[in-house]
Structure 1
Amino acid sequence: MRKVLFPVLASLAALSAATPALANEARVEARGGIIWGYDESEATAGVAAGYDFDLGNVAFAGVEVSGDKILTEGTKVSFGVSGRVGGKIGEDGKLYVAGGWQSEPVSHTTDLWSIGAGYQHNIGQKLYGKVEYRHYFGDYDIDADSVMVGLGARF
């Protein structure tokens, strides 16, 4: 884990020296993507709401609540709470690491924990697009990965 986290954090520090992007803002988004594990993959979709706080001119931290569903029979909405911290890239970008907790996505499993990274880019005054990777783990040897893209509004 340290072999992965250290290069990501070092990259964030180096890239965050660019012109600051706007933070201290609320956001809502719709997202979709793919989740895979155990030689299977499925589409997934969800919504999220969050708030980002300025940490000086080059960094930010944020919190998020979400609801995501794997788009196949036998799954349910998995509610989550997560956080992110990262660097502001130019006027419009945010590069970050994220992690959090999600309720069980399938009956007879367990709650999940996740860690990942993403990039968010402003599109005009109020919209943004983002791409995010997450690795999920928990009891019962749960081991899954996802890539999601999102479109959201900033307030």
Structure 2
Amino acid sequence: MKKITFAALIAGAALLPAAANAQAYVQVQTGLDSVSAAGESDEGIAYGVAAGYDFPIGEKMFIGIEGSVDDSSTKECERDLLVIGDKACLKTGRDLAAVVRLGTNLSESSQLYVLGGYTNARIRFTYDDGVTSSSVGENGDGFRLGAGFKHNFGQNFFGKLEYRYSNYEGDVSRHNGLVAVGVNF
């Protein structure tokens, strides 16, 4: 037990300088959302917020954690499927993600990074035939991969360009091209 406690103290002491230099941030983001399900795809606008911390690793590298909540306008509807005048729609819902970012400092104000982690999205199916209507929602777990570029504008403000690919269960995938603005703390 003493060996484990001693090892934990050494690891904590090694991480203390990185934690002291950690950079917290929050951002708002928007961009293209392209969702594919069962061989069909549709596009819309993604929008949301994210928050995270970046920890320096040496002089040029950093590692970060980020959590995000997004929504989307992506929706596909068909009419006259079973009876004349009916309407069936498939709409994306909220998308929750937790990712790890690994990157390099290109300069004092620019960073290039890759990311990977977990995502969970909601898809809702609605049907209305004019007499009855129904709605069913499903959550899908998946993984997210991506890459991005961050540029600081002064001490506290930044902008980002980011590409994300998400793959969910049930043959659903998503491509995002995002623009973000945020504040460093």
Q: Normalized against structure 1, the TM-score is what?
A: 0.80
Segments of structure 1 that go 5 or more residues without pairing to the other structure are 1-22
Equivalents in 1 of 2:46, 2:174: separation in Å? 13
Cα displacement string for residues 67-112 of structure 1 (whole angstroms, at most 9, x for unaligned residues): 0001246433222111100100111011000011122231325123
Residue equivalent to 1:34:
32
The number of equivalent residue pairs is 133
Verify: 1:123 aligned to 2:153, yes or no.
yes
Verify: 1:71 aligned to 2:42, yes or no.
no
Residue equivalent to 1:113:
143
Give the secondary-structure state (helix, strand or coil) at the position aligned to 1:81.
Answer: strand
Equivalents in 1 of 2:96, 2:41: separation in Å? 24
Larger radius of gyration: 2
What percent identity do the matched residue pairs reach?
Answer: 33
Residue 55 of structure 1, aligned match among 54, 57, 78: 57
1:54 maps to a residue whose letter is: P
Cα displacement string for residues 6-57 of structure 1 (whole angstroms, at most 9, x for unaligned residues): xxxxxxxxxxxxxxxxx62000000001111333111010000000000000
Cα RMSD (Å): 1.5
Is the 1:59–1:85 Cα contact (8 Å) retained in structure 2? yes
Residue equivalent to 1:84:
101
Residue 99 of structure 1, aligned match among 116, 134, 151: 116
Equivalents in 2 of 1:75, 1:145: separation in Å? 13
Is the 2:120–2:140 Cα contact (8 Å) retained in structure 1? yes
2:168 maps to a residue whose letter is: G
Is the 1:69–1:105 Cα contact (8 Å) retained in structure 2? no
Give the secondary-structure state (helix, strand or coil) at the position aligned to 1:77.
Answer: strand
Segments of structure 2 that go 5 or more residues without pairing to the other structure are 1-20, 76-90, 124-136
Residue equivalent to 1:136:
166
Equivalents in 2 of 1:115, 1:69: separation in Å? 18
Between 66-75 and 133-142, report the one with greater CA deviation: 66-75
1:30 maps to a residue whose letter is: V
Is the 2:122–2:138 Cα contact (8 Å) retained in structure 1? no
Is the 2:43–2:74 Cα contact (8 Å) retained in structure 1? no
Change (3 A) 1:39 1:72: closer
